[in-house]
Structure 1
């Protein structure tokens, strides 16, 4: 189930052709309210898509994946409708019914006996302001928030997900287990300390740091590269095969890096790989080439 709210018609056509090419169009429902359409039409799109999703969930007893792009446009369309109705705006010009409108949509995304509607929603953040009333109203209903970082994208780390601002209610030792939770917290602590050291590194350089901080920088940089991953959907453009990595392999790789196994590896060995075994093979291959060149010299 896909709801396109306030997007360009070109993007809708692209999605339609992509679904045809992948052979899943017969299992897909597309609902669009283009950006050139009246605000009332755009505002109704998510509600219409959700009603269809509820039909498949309740009447057909099927699990439904609901994709929504962009839910912020739902709020924006509601603000325009509110203005046309002559209502006094609230904070930052949004409609006074912002919280109730968002809740009326989000609280319907739920599971029932045996089936569920699961939603993945893109949220535009105006001027990167995460305190924007629309953003806070939407995010308060989310079980998980995946934050994309322009800074990571600029450095070539894809997916450009910021582990420090990304959150999930499922990252709980009672859900994922103590081992998983402990590794995740160690990764976040290492990356957070590395971020805190950025200004000092920019001014004085890494060599001016203490031994413990230099070790944190070494491991954090390798973690950043290990957390990158080639996409299957970009394989045709990059020529790099996509990787699907099991959670257990990701955890094992992060633990090994945190424990120092990769401290002496080249950072590039960990970039755009799947498991840590791939990185080991790249590192050993590079070391073998270096040894052969040394012997030849």
Structure 2
């Protein structure tokens, strides 16, 4: 009886290539699963145009927090949406909206401001709220800044060696400014996976609100921000019982425009901070964002009293 023939070298080569490809495929699949489960993949936030023109911009939770801070500082100072757009485009160019501790010579932070050039101390510049405030302070001194091309306005503040570089960030900054000032409603979403180093709970949310908007944000029309344990929403069957912060929205127009716009500014701010502050759910004006399976959209909340839901922004925190 003849002995079984051994695989030919050509066949063995095919088997080896197939095995190697299968191992690579398993490795890629495993990497993607780890990225999903740990939340380490990026980008994880998205802003879309309110004009239904298909424009969008994707970014990370770190960038979202910094963009929300820059916007809140601007509107609190009474700066226009155009000023916010200029500030966001500048930070996108200078630091990628990251609060970095290095740069050209002694440049630091979101706007790469230099202590040696009178922008403040190192500690001050590394504080995003301070850095944004001092940027707006200089921008406000530029005559007719809102009428200037963005590159010109930004350059008169920054004195950059590459003044035209700001232009490429204007479309993304425009989308961010429209959402974060609240003008374009329900246009910003984040996955909201809690950061391991983040601190959640109502106290952390209140502290961050004061940091970005000032202490007045906690008092609206004489009403103090309240903390309660909400019941699950009819549309959120898995919503856990957790602490909540309710921020009344002023009836009169404020620095950022109408009451509705102010509400959406606060709602988008909360979503942008969802990972850092462990925010699980945000609702306003009959719409709700919640982390998890529906984190990429604002859904109808099912609240029966639409008028009441438009009177306050509700922020639910939880692990």
**Does TM-score exceed 0.5, indicating one fold?**
no
Please report the TM-score for the alignment, with normalisation by the length of structure 2: 0.24
Higher RCO structure (Cα 8 Å, ≥6 apart) = 2
Q: Which has the higher helix share?
A: 1
Please report the TM-score for the alignment, with normalisation by the length of structure 1: 0.25
